[in-house]
Structure 1
Amino acid sequence: EALLRARSVELSDQVLTYGEELALTNRHLAATISQLQEAKSALIEMEAHTRLVTEMTPAHIGHVDSDGLYTFTNRRLSALLPGRDNDIVGVSFEQALGQKTAAHLRPHLDRAARGKPALLEFTDPVSGRRIRTAFTPDKRAPGSVYILSTDVTEEAQARTALEQTHKREMAAQLTSGLAHDFANLLTIILGLQARLEKMPLPDGAHELTGATRMAVRRGGLLLDKIANMTGTREVRPTPVVMQDFLANISPLAQAALPETTTLSIQSDFAHRALMLDAGSLQDGLLNLILNARDGIGTSPGEIKVSFRDVKGTWLEIAVEDTGCGFSDAALTNALNPFFTTKGDAGSGLGLTMVYDLVKLAGGTMGLSNTDTGARVILRLPLRPALAEARPRLILLVDDIADIRAQVRDLLTDLGHQVIEAASAEEAEALADLPGLDWILSDIRLGPVDGVDLLRSIAGRQPSLNLALMTSLPTADPLHVAGAQLWPVLPKPVDAGALHHLLTAEISQ
């Protein structure tokens, strides 16, 4: 009994010791669980923050595993490629992007899955947007790839316009000297023909000299076209009310069409006004319509012109006819200078000039045949005109009445209201009118120049928008002084420059 009693006491002491150790372990475990919960909450918050940041990023970020399935997306795919689903986790690469786009990108995805990064630009066949996509191997999971895609449509449009400008400059340098020498030769030939016609000639010779003179004059017209095609040209987009533009195109085109050819113009876009170079676009469309007329010939036919919005990115203009269509040679060479299928009746510069105008605007041009004839498709950047605010009240200052009238008409055509001042003194008196938004002044105004005038007005009306216009060279001290403070428009002022000036202020 004494032995059992001693053993019981010993065991009781051990139980108490083990109980204290267990309680201490439980306290440590509870603290660890609390820390894990805090870490989990922090990770959840960090994940939510990261997801928010990625979803706000103006690009699509995705992760594709070795089986070709998306395991992550920032839910921006539809913003980049309209018509696609945003919820693509667990979806295959082909199903998420569409078979056509995925087939184009699959070789680059496979290359990245083998550990080699890839980068490419492609045009989405659905929306026409230009997309730049980077494929980066996931080093932690062999065969998996991170995909970053961004919309570079506007960058590509600007790059296309810049490349076309460089091409024009090179063409101008190459052709200017040749054109000058060729023009001199034509002048000599005309002079010799004139002297030859004054001499006694045998029967039939006058017809030959007349034909030679006509050929020389045609060569002169060709030189003019080359000069227009290679000379300096700047696209000046202005707000164009599309309903008015289409209404003006129809009668101009109808006048050149025979009664047996019908013309229909259709439009399918929601924007009332677009930023376009209306003059260049009108010239290009008339050129295409006349080409369609020539393709139809004397047979009854139809020309269709359609305008549509392509996914908010492009204004697509299609000109279709029921003529003979493009030959294989024309489909390959029609956009090259001097290629023509019209013989002596054509210069081979019509489609080239249209192509040049489209490229300068950052667009694309394509030729194809349909079951009934030919089709030409132009795609121009779709840029809706800024929402029209209230008309601007502009004080126009110039001491020459004819120039004031010309600039006033341009401003009123743009929808603005104009107050005129013929001198600096009148402008000083009118500058305090309530509601005045702009002052546009000539630099040379007699005793007081426009720079001093605007400097004086700016001192007491700092909220006014100020600008100058002048015919002075850019190196003139007054021109330099004015340009350091305000915008300076060169004379003669045109509507595009005025619109750019006023819309820049609206945007700011």
Structure 2
Amino acid sequence: MGQNITETSALTQAGLNLIQQALSIYDRKLRLAVGNRQFQNMFDLPDHLVTPGAEFSDTVRFLAERGDYGAVGDIEAFVKSRVDQALAFEPHYMERTRANGHVISVEGHPLSQSGWVTVYTDITPIKRQEALLRARSEELSDQVLSYTEELAQTNRALASANAALEETKRELTEMESRTRLTTEMMPAHIARIDRDRHYTFSNRRLGLVMPGRPSDLIGLHASEALGDEFYGRIAPYFARAFDGQSSVFELVDDTSGRRIRVALTPDQDGDDISGVYILSMDITQEAQARAALVQTRKRELAAQLTSGVAHDFSNLLTIILGLQSQLARMPLGEEAQKMVTATTAAVRRGGTLLDRIASISGRRELHVEPTNVTDMLKGLETLARPTLPDDIELTISTTDLDDPIILDAGAVQDGMLNLILNATHAIGNNPGAIHLTARPIRETWVEFRVTDTGPGFAPTALEHAFDPFFTTKGGEGSGLGLSMVYDQTKVAGGQLKLSNSSETGGAVVSVRLPLRKPLRPIAPRLVLLIEDNDDIRISVREMLTNMGHQVIEATSAEDAGALVDLDGLGLILSDVILDGPMTGPEFLKGLRKAGFDVPMLVMTSLPADDPRRAKAGFPVLPKPFTHGELATFLSDEVRT
């Protein structure tokens, strides 16, 4: 492949040298990328100014010092003005007379990656004819005739050269556009390193995939670009690539918290490997969604296993409670009565356990909306403080979270309250402290960390704490607290980690959730709202109008069918179950089949596993929802 690129470059240069006009291409930093032979000959430039990488400013300075631009006064000021004009990257055409008396036209065209292609044409014969025509034709008729013939011949040659030049410009622009479309417009970093691990090509997107890294990589060693820690982990894969082995792998960038998928492909020509091509993509959101899906499947499996026995187990507990009630009314001895009381309490704990199993295995809805973390944690503090002993201090702090982020605030509060109660139990009757902090991790995660001054996690707890029913509280614990927090975190696409503090020895629980900033609200539009419940329809209409939308209403698919042809209709929001024989999704599918292309969304109070909801075929907003949840749902699902 490297040989093919070299051959193509040589052929391209040879073709440019055949063009009669001078041509130069400078990159976005005004460094020479390509210059044909005529470019050097026309301006009599030294070799170092026509070598790729030569600075545009050096060429202007050389010509100005030689007097090619005439009297310019302050040369450095003149050079700066020309550089500033070039950096504006505006197309231009100009004509100027050089010191040798020749007149040239200069035509500049910006390239899409902010570079320049410029064509220089010697138009001295044309200017000579114009001068002669302005003279007295009766005195100069012979000269005019001579120059007219000379000019006609020159124009014919110029037309031919122009045709070739235009084709070359078209091909250069097309090649450049194709290359950039397949590199810089991709949500990935594409690069090549040589055998010394220095970058020879980069599409300048490393900083987007791995925040904090440089974007201009040409000439940098991979360790400089990636950082020593990340380079140390990827270096073995580089070594294998230079041995001829392609690979695809995933690594977590500890600096940014992002998960990166990397593909390495040797640049191989026969047995010779001159470099390695690198494709890097940020798959953090994909990994978060993957983790959430895995956890959802686990929960669905648990629900299937539980539902099969829950009914019979409930019946069995009911029978046992009935028998214990009969025993309690019999004239038994004191010891027997104690046994009856203990058995009854155990049965009631079994019923409570069933409720908790149902809550952990059941499918929980996410209710996300823009949330001010500081305000949310103030509400949590109000809930938590009454449950704490007087000698346990609770402190809550946030860092760099002044702006709202997208969260399921209720789930986060439940989880943090659970962790605070666990910490309280761990501290026991001793004085102690619990500290809850919230902070962003780059632009990838928001981390909630709960630390306490208790004895910390035992090795067994660190290994099994997320297992349902595992507890260190003896008979007082159900073993479902941490597993429920783990479940809520995973369903949201987050991470949960346990450790012990190296300073206090107490427990440390870190909950990381995807850091999502609210999207810009969708532009106001005309919304068709289809809802058969009057109270709900009025409530949703007020939410939509408060967002700036205009709303027209219908209670059935039949009523809505008469409204869909209104000019300016920009969104349809329908309930799943409507008055009449047709459901909301059936109506919307009919519109889609008929060619309506406005965004179509549904809302419902049906449970997630109800077939009518599961097969809706459109984005679903579960009821009830708040104004913020509706706004977030519309921003996520509607593209303006």
Q: Which residue of 1 aligns with 2:236?
A: 107
Distance of 2:231 and 2:625 partners within structure 1: 46
Q: Which residue of 1 aligns with 2:399?
A: 268
2:252 is the alignment partner of 1:126: no
- Note if contact 1:296-1:324 (Cα within 8 Å) is conserved in structure 2: yes
- Note if contact 1:440-1:466 (Cα within 8 Å) is conserved in structure 2: no
2:540 is the alignment partner of 1:386: no
2:611 is the alignment partner of 1:482: no
- Note if contact 1:438-1:464 (Cα within 8 Å) is conserved in structure 2: no
The counterpart of 1:308, out of the listed 428, 439, 444, is: 439
The counterpart of 1:469, out of the listed 575, 594, 615, is: 575
The counterpart of 2:625, out of the listed 495, 498, 505, is: 495
Taking the TM superposition and a 5 Å limit, the aligned residue runs for 1:127-142 are: 127-140=256-269, 141-142=272-273
Q: Which residue of 1 aligns with 2:561?
A: 455
Secondary structure of 1:309's partner?
strand
- Note if contact 2:266-2:277 (Cα within 8 Å) is conserved in structure 1: yes
Q: Which residue of 2 aligns with 1:340?
A: 471
Q: Is the deviation greater in 31-40 or in 457-466?
A: 31-40
Q: Which amino acid aligns with 1:384?
A: K
Q: Which residue of 1 aligns with 2:357?
A: 226
Q: Which amino acid aligns with 2:582?
A: P
Distance of 1:157 and 1:196 partners within structure 2: 54
Taking the TM superposition and a 5 Å limit, the aligned residue runs for 1:312-461 are: 312-370=443-501, 371-372=503-504, 373-387=506-520, 404=535, 408=538, 417=546, 437-439=550-552, 441-442=554-555, 450-460=556-566
The counterpart of 2:369, out of the listed 238, 255, 270, is: 238
Q: Which amino acid aligns with 1:346?
A: G
Distance of 2:433 and 2:334 partners within structure 1: 47
2:267 is the alignment partner of 1:283: no
Distance of 1:344 and 1:108 partners within structure 2: 51
Q: Which amino acid aligns with 1:261?
A: I
The counterpart of 2:18, out of the listed 34, 55, 68, is: 34
Q: Which amino acid aligns with 1:68?
A: R
Distance of 2:318 and 2:546 partners within structure 1: 50
Q: Is the deviation greater in 180-189 or in 45-54?
A: 45-54
TM-score, scaled relative to structure 2: 0.64
Q: Which residue of 1 aligns with 2:187?
A: 58
The 1:441–1:247 alpha-carbon spacing in structure 2 relative to 1, beyond 3 Å, is farther
Distance of 2:525 and 2:375 partners within structure 1: 22
The counterpart of 1:294, out of the listed 396, 419, 425, is: 425
Distance of 2:177 and 2:524 partners within structure 1: 44
Distance of 1:52 and 1:162 partners within structure 2: 35
The counterpart of 1:171, out of the listed 294, 302, 311, is: 302
1:133-191, Cα deviation, whole Å (9 max, x unpaired):
00101103526211110111111111111111111111111222132332222112111
Distance of 2:334 and 2:264 partners within structure 1: 79
Distance of 1:120 and 1:458 partners within structure 2: 49
The 1:129–1:340 alpha-carbon spacing in structure 2 relative to 1, beyond 3 Å, is same
Q: Which amino acid aligns with 1:251?
A: T
Structure having greater relative contact order (Cα 8 Å, sep ≥ 6):
1
Q: CA shift at 1:466, angstroms?
A: 3.5
The 1:502–1:60 alpha-carbon spacing in structure 2 relative to 1, beyond 3 Å, is closer
1:51-80, Cα deviation, whole Å (9 max, x unpaired):
744334321122222222222222222211
- Note if contact 1:391-1:415 (Cα within 8 Å) is conserved in structure 2: no
Distance of 1:391 and 1:269 partners within structure 2: 31
Q: CA shift at 1:297, angstroms?
A: 1.8
Q: CA shift at 1:368, angstroms?
A: 0.9
The 1:69–1:498 alpha-carbon spacing in structure 2 relative to 1, beyond 3 Å, is closer
Distance of 2:605 and 2:554 partners within structure 1: 12
- Note if contact 1:121-1:133 (Cα within 8 Å) is conserved in structure 2: yes
Distance of 1:197 and 1:32 partners within structure 2: 105
Q: Which amino acid aligns with 2:247?
A: A
Taking the TM superposition and a 5 Å limit, the aligned residue runs for 1:200-219 are: 200-219=331-350
1:212-254, Cα deviation, whole Å (9 max, x unpaired):
1111111111111111101122223122233431221111111
Work out the number of aligned pairs and report it. 451
Q: Is the deviation greater in 87-96 or in 285-294?
A: 87-96
The 1:396–1:105 alpha-carbon spacing in structure 2 relative to 1, beyond 3 Å, is closer
Secondary structure of 2:519's partner?
coil
Superposed CA RMSD in Å reads 3.2
- After the TM superposition, which segments of 4 or more aligned residues of structure 1 sit over 6 Å from their partners? 36-39, 42-47, 389-399
Distance of 1:345 and 1:45 partners within structure 2: 74
- Note if contact 2:527-2:570 (Cα within 8 Å) is conserved in structure 1: no
Q: Which amino acid aligns with 2:360?
A: M
Distance of 2:464 and 2:540 partners within structure 1: 41
Distance of 2:601 and 2:429 partners within structure 1: 55
The 1:253–1:300 alpha-carbon spacing in structure 2 relative to 1, beyond 3 Å, is same
Q: Is the deviation greater in 294-303 or in 189-198?
A: 294-303
The 1:295–1:32 alpha-carbon spacing in structure 2 relative to 1, beyond 3 Å, is closer
The 1:407–1:200 alpha-carbon spacing in structure 2 relative to 1, beyond 3 Å, is farther
Q: Which amino acid aligns with 2:562?
A: S
Q: CA shift at 1:479, angstroms?
A: 4.2
- Note if contact 1:396-1:408 (Cα within 8 Å) is conserved in structure 2: no
The 1:392–1:344 alpha-carbon spacing in structure 2 relative to 1, beyond 3 Å, is farther
Distance of 1:324 and 1:467 partners within structure 2: 53
The 1:70–1:465 alpha-carbon spacing in structure 2 relative to 1, beyond 3 Å, is closer
2:151 is the alignment partner of 1:151: no
Distance of 1:275 and 1:31 partners within structure 2: 57
Q: Is the deviation greater in 463-472 or in 296-305?
A: 463-472
The 1:367–1:341 alpha-carbon spacing in structure 2 relative to 1, beyond 3 Å, is same
Q: Which amino acid aligns with 1:307?
A: A
- Note if contact 1:396-1:441 (Cα within 8 Å) is conserved in structure 2: yes
Q: Which amino acid aligns with 1:116?
A: Q
The 1:115–1:359 alpha-carbon spacing in structure 2 relative to 1, beyond 3 Å, is same
Secondary structure of 1:146's partner?
strand
The 1:392–1:324 alpha-carbon spacing in structure 2 relative to 1, beyond 3 Å, is farther
Secondary structure of 1:255's partner?
helix
Secondary structure of 1:495's partner?
coil
TM-score, scaled relative to structure 1: 0.80
Q: Which amino acid aligns with 1:375?
A: V
Q: Which amino acid aligns with 1:482?
A: F
Q: CA shift at 1:472, angstroms?
A: 5.5
What fraction of aligned residue pairs are identical, expressed as a percent?
A: 42
Secondary structure of 1:383's partner?
coil
Q: Which runs of 5 or more structure 2 residues have no equivalent in the other structure?
A: 1-13, 24-33, 37-167, 592-599, 607-622
1:303-329, Cα deviation, whole Å (9 max, x unpaired):
121111111111111111121111111
Q: CA shift at 1:96, angstroms?
A: 2.2
